[in-house]
Amino acid sequence: MSIVKNLPEAAIPQGGAPVWKPEDARRWRDARVPWAFSPTVVGWVLAPLVLLAIVLLVRYEPERTHLGTAWTGFPGAVLLLALPAWYRFLPGATLVGAPLAALDTVLSLALPERSDGPGAWLVLALCAWAFTGALLRRRARSRQRNLFLAAAGGARRPVPQRLTTGHRRRGRWLIAPGAALCLAAAVLLAWGLAADLRAAGTGTPYDAAGQQLVALLLLVPGTTLLGRGLQARRAARRLHDGPQPVLRVGVRNPLVGPCWLVADAVTTTAEPLVAFRDLFANSHGSGSGRLLAGGEESRLRAEHHDIDPRREPFEALLYGVPHEGAEVVLEYAHYESDTRIVTAVTTAPLLPVRRHSLPPWQPAGNSYTLRSRVEDERRRVERAARAARGDHGGVGFACGSGDGGSSCGGGCGGGGD
């Protein structure tokens, strides 16, 4: 796709769209949570620590003096095992799950037969860490929203009508398997509970530990997928609640890794702000976009030059409020043919990614397509020249005979009788 560096005037909505100033974008970026509470970092760190806590809890678990199924610790086990995934993807669920898991641990410590093992104290520390991080992430989201709205001022406009397939189907592929896993876990728990109740009436104890274990392993990914799907669908629907704030931003699309929003497409020192993935379902709407300009190609590419998006950013309109977990719409310009410039749309669920490998860039200043054509023509001429030199300057080796006698190159030999 031949992307236009700067938006044509026809792409700017009525009433204008301000540019996201680098100093405003820097304040927005600095409003995110500290590194110690970053969703990706903490999610990966919590996972082995939670497993360690479970191992310690099992090691210091007192011997059971009664037969049958123990149901009291099951909800706490689900909440604890799901804590890393919930913190990474569902901060709202973490605000509820972490205190409940800590409360379950405190109540278990109060039991007379319970020993004060290190696992319980590790669980309390992990729950406190996750709960604090979730609170800070909610606060950072609110601060970033306020900063972006202040930068956008009164610029509001409904999102483009023709959005992508990925946007329309957002969350479905997560909701369906998540709900299926949760339903399977509920069936297993109902089976175990019914068997336990029947066994209590007969006097023969029944241990539903097998059903509990499988249900536990199903509930952790099931609740995470279901929550992520519902959250993604809600973020997509929020864009249609009414006119959205709109700003002109820059987009960097590197060869490797996710795409990044930057303050604008002009400032070469602008830092990356937030990432998103350039998936096909999110970047290609149905049908053609709005016509922005048309005419002779040489004039168009001189006035609205296209770029290599792998090397420098391009300008786009951003609809919506960017923050962790949000979805925004990016509208930019590209050449539909050599004589037409139209709009294109990308729907971008934003990622809590911090590391990037974006190289420095410098503006090319002219059309990437025209430069490529000149370079292709130069290489074609060089290849033709080399081929011509090879045809006229080559040396042949042959053996043959003619009327005037015979000639033999060094590769021929003869022998007599």
- Per-residue pLDDT, 403: 42
Residue type, 303: E
- pLDDT given at position 142: 95
Lookup: tokens for 146: 């306020």
61 touches 375 (CB < 8 A): no
Ramachandran quadrant class, 173 (left: phi over 0; alpha: psi -120 to 50; beta: rest): alpha
Backbone CA torsion sign across 106, 36, 20, 10: negative
- Helix or strand (DSSP H, E) at 156: strand 156-157
Task: Specify the pTM.
Answer: 0.86
Q: What is the pLDDT of residue 328?
A: 97
Show the tokens assigned to 31: 């409003």
- Separation of alpha carbons 218 and 215, rounded Å: 5
pLDDT at 57: 86
pLDDT in the model for residue 145? 96
- What's the pLDDT score for residue 259? 94
| Structure-block tokens of residue 298 | 């040489």
DSSP letters spanning 225-271: HHHHHHHHHHHHHHTTSS-EEEEEEEEE--SSS-EEEES-SS-TTPP
Q: What is the pLDDT of residue 288?
A: 64
Query: How do the pLDDT tens digits run along the chain, 417 residues long?
Result: 789 999 999 999 888 899 999 999 999 999 999 999 999 999 999 999 999 999 988 887 766 556 678 888 899 999 999 999 999 999 999 999 999 999 999 888 877 666 567 889 999 999 999 999 999 999 999 999 999 999 999 899 999 988 888 999 999 999 999 999 999 999 999 999 998 888 877 777 888 889 999 999 999 999 999 999 999 999 999 999 999 999 999 999 998 889 999 999 999 999 999 999 988 888 865 456 889 999 998 899 999 999 999 999 999 999 999 998 999 999 999 998 889 999 999 999 999 888 888 999 999 999 999 999 999 999 999 999 888 887 554 444 344 444 444 444 444 444 443
Concatenate the DSSP letters of all residues of 376-403 into one string. Answer: HHHHHHHHHHHHHHHHHH------EEET
CB atoms within 10 A of CB 163: 20
